[in-house]
A and B are shown apart, each in its own frame.
Chain A
Amino acid sequence: MAAAPHTLLDESAARPGRDSLHTLLVRWLLIGVALAFLAALLIAPLLTVFAVALGSGIHAYLTSLADPDTRSAIHLTLLTTAIVVPVNTLFGVAAAWCIAKFEFRGKSFLTTLIDLPLAVSPVVAGMLYVLLFGLQGWFGQWLQDRNLSIIFALPGIVIATMFVTFPYVARELIPLMQQLGNDEEEAAITMGAGGWMTFFRVTLPKMRWGLVYGVILCNARSMGEFGAVSVVSGHIRGLTNTLPLQIEILYHEYNAVGAFATASLLTLLAVLTLVIKTLVERRGYKGH
């Protein structure tokens, strides 16, 4: 409440005659309607997750998290993310360097292609790899002859997650690097610094907040991806179930406490992501 009177005064000083009763009524009516909408759509579901998860007591909550299948789902999700996020970060940095530092033909086409996965339904994304690597897929027979499995196994989950989170780091870094310009890098190179040294000493420090921003969003999406992973995973309990898939299974078994307890982990991750994102924005970085 502390900030409100101050800014109200500021506003009416700058804009005389704007603090009439009518104006105030309209203002608080609009704020009230917006808040009611957000409360129903965002806050109610958020609170429900914790209310149901903790509804049967903290003991039941902890017991359901200790379930071996849930444990292995946590493990698989962490493993998948540990592969996907570094690879996509490396890709994002390379793509941003290539697109922001150089002028070449077909550049805007390449940028559009990088954004493509954002426009593809997650289910279609998962299906792409079933068509390629599934039993009746292009490489299905070849893989089976060599006793390799991609679909219904870890590699499929990793590559489907990689597809849906593919542009996250790149689309954050490309506009940022374009905005920051090349002057300092050109100066460093001209004065004899090597390419890698220029990257680590000049470019990386400049773009670090953008990198953090892109990486946490990539991380949140890869831990939470449902549609694409659901298509390629095969839902083998304790083996190919990631956290979101485990939530689905528990939910369909009418194990509400288990489903929402598992969901609460991912909700905490989402809240943590928003907190880090807000802190980065407080440092003056604006997302792209």
Chain B
Amino acid sequence: MSARRFLQPSVLPGFGLTFGFTTFFLSAVVLIPLAALVVKAASMHWTDFLSVVLSRRALGAYRLSFGASLLAATINLGFGFLTAWTLVRYRFPGRAFIDALIDLPFALPTAVSGIALTSVFSPTGPLGRPLAQAGIQVAYTWIGVTVALTLIGLPFLVRTIQPALTEIQRDLEDAAETLGAGRLYTFRRIILPALAPALLTGFAMAFARGVGEYGSVIFISGNLPMKTEIAPLLIVIHLEEFDYAGAAALGVVMLVMSFIGLLAINLLQAWGRRRIASAR
């Protein structure tokens, strides 16, 4: 009976007020504007739409945005795991400080991390100079874009791996070791499977954030069409030329990509919860 009803009965007041305010505000700020974007892109003729979203310049921008995000998320898979491992398993001086510092990319405005990274990695910067002497130019190349996206993605990996790593039962590892398993074997057969959902969720989050990232990238990227121009910048360029339809078309492509990302993250988290539930 009650399953047919919209709202389950409750003694608590305020459903009408809070539900009304939530849906109204959500529609006004988020849903209606998103619908406007889709309608704008849908008003284009499909050949125009395709000629914008499949232009050589757009394809180059997707390749950089997706490629660098993928690479950065992969780097973070390794170093994010290492950082989380170090913070959870080891005690060393300054650990609490490092732990708090991990969230810096969340708290630091992207424009600030953008200009700071550019200074650090420019050919005259403290890290950029030795790298340039070794023949590696970081700033104003795709490597710089990857560095910026690595910075942005790091907390996503560390913060999803940390709790999962804390939850691993140490006695399983001990048992494996007692039974003669080597360090790497224990890692591969006990730790890695237990961390898989967290690793993939963090990876997906970092990747999704990287694809849409703008502020921290445009200073270090050089912004040459086809080479170091990211997809969000191409949207800005269309807007500055008052080509709203073209911008909307590219925006829809990015939006579809981020929805796929959001769906993947939700599925991965559900998978992780099921695994934890079945392990207990």
List residues of A whose CB falls within 8 A of some B CB: 1, 3-4, 7-8, 15, 27, 30-31, 33-35, 37-38, 40-46, 48-49, 52, 90-91, 94-95, 97-99, 101-105, 110, 112-117, 119-124, 127-132, 134, 136-138, 159, 162-163, 166, 182, 185-186, 189-190, 194-195, 198-199, 217, 220, 223-227, 230-231, 243-245, 247-248, 251, 256, 259-260, 263, 266-267, 269-271, 273-275, 277-278
Task: With both chains docked as a complex, state the minimum distance between the C-beta of A85 and any C-beta of chain B, in angstroms.
Answer: 14
**Among A41, A131, A230, A244, contact of B37 (Cβ-Cβ < 8 Å):** A131
24 contacts between A and B (CB under 8 A): A3-B93, A31-B86, A41-B154, A48-B125, A95-B26, A97-B18, A104-B6, A110-B26, A112-B266, A117-B30, A119-B262, A121-B258, A122-B215, A123-B236, A131-B37, A131-B40, A131-B244, A132-B36, A185-B12, A199-B14, A227-B214, A231-B236, A244-B112, A274-B103
Are A119 and B258 neighbours in the complex by a CB distance under 8 Å?
yes
Asked if B185 is at the interface (CB within 8 A of a chain A CB), the reply is no
Task: With both chains docked as a complex, state the minimum distance between the C-beta of B49 and any C-beta of chain A, in angstroms.
Answer: 15
Asked if B242 is at the interface (CB within 8 A of a chain A CB), the reply is yes
Q: Kindly list 17 other residue pairs between chains A and B, CB separation below 8 angstroms, not including A46-B108, A103-B10, A110-B26.
A: A34-B79, A42-B105, A48-B119, A48-B126, A94-B25, A95-B22, A97-B14, A98-B14, A101-B15, A115-B262, A116-B34, A119-B208, A121-B254, A124-B254, A127-B248, A131-B33, A251-B219
Task: With both chains docked as a complex, state the minimum distance between the C-beta of B168 and any C-beta of chain A, in angstroms.
Answer: 15
Are A244 and B120 neighbours in the complex by a CB distance under 8 Å?
no
Chain A positions within 8 Å of B125 at CB level: 48
Are A224 and B108 neighbours in the complex by a CB distance under 8 Å?
yes
Are B8 and A123 neighbours in the complex by a CB distance under 8 Å?
no
Looking across the interface, which residue of chain A has its beta carbon closest to that of B110? A226
List residues of B whose CB falls within 8 A of some A CB: 6-8, 10-15, 17-19, 21-23, 25-26, 29-34, 36-37, 40, 79, 82-83, 85-86, 90-93, 96, 98, 100-113, 115-117, 119-120, 125-127, 147, 150-151, 154, 174, 208, 211-215, 219, 232-233, 235-236, 239, 242, 244, 247-248, 251, 254-255, 258-259, 261-262, 266
Looking across the interface, which residue of chain B has its beta carbon closest to that of A245? B111
Chain B CB count within 10 A is highest, among A7, A110, A226, for A226
B contacts with A: majority SS? helix
Going nearest first, the 10 A-B pairs with the smallest beta carbon separation are A224-B109, A121-B212, A45-B116, A226-B215, A227-B214, A128-B33, A98-B18, A195-B13, A103-B8, A270-B107
Chain B positions within 8 Å of A131 at CB level: 33, 36-37, 40, 244, 248
